[in-house]
Amino acid sequence: MIFLIPFGLTGSCSSQEQPKDGKKASIATVQKISSAQAKAMMDEGKPYTLLDVRTDAEFKERRISGAILIPDYEIEARAEKELPDKNAVILIYCRSGARSARSAQTLVNMGYTNIYDFGGIINWPFETISD
């Protein structure tokens, strides 16, 4: 015979505390989107920050117009100063998607709430610029 014990019905097993104002706390996650979805968001006219997390050399060689550069290995040190609004929409990319995924998760871990990772510039079919 199997007995099921209803854990959590009393709330005593919950690991999340409710805020004192009664509102449910939300846990931010990285939102993975396509290049086309990122382009559509850019074209909407709503505010966003476009973040390139590659190296300076890669950035100069080819980038999406309007992007700011914070290399992935400098995210923790520079983000709070250069990206002060933790609720701002941030669209993030790198070369192939690995660094943007790591950097996006780092930003979420730092308290940023609207992180959209669209992977690598190698999959960006739209216009780019270079120095």
Q: Which of 81, 119, 118, 125 is nearest to 97 (CA)?
A: 119
Task: Domain count for the chain, please give it.
Answer: 1
Question: What pLDDT score does 127 carry?
Answer: 97
Residue 80 lies inside a defined structural domain of this protein: yes
Q: Is residue 4 part of a domain?
A: no
Q: pLDDT tens, 36-59?
A: 999 999 999 999 999 999 999 999
Query: 22 in a domain, yes or no?
Result: no
Say how far apart CA 115 and CA 117 lie, in whole Å: 6
Instruction: Please give the mean pLDDT across all residues of the chain.
Output: 86
Please work out, in degrees rounded to the nearest 5, the angle formed at the alpha carbon of residue 127 by the alpha carbons of 54 and 113. Answer: 50
Active site (catalytic) residues:
94
Read off the pTM: 0.80
Report pLDDT digits (tens) over 15-36.
333 344 444 455 789 999 999 9
pLDDT at 18: 39
What does the pLDDT average to over 1-14?
Answer: 38
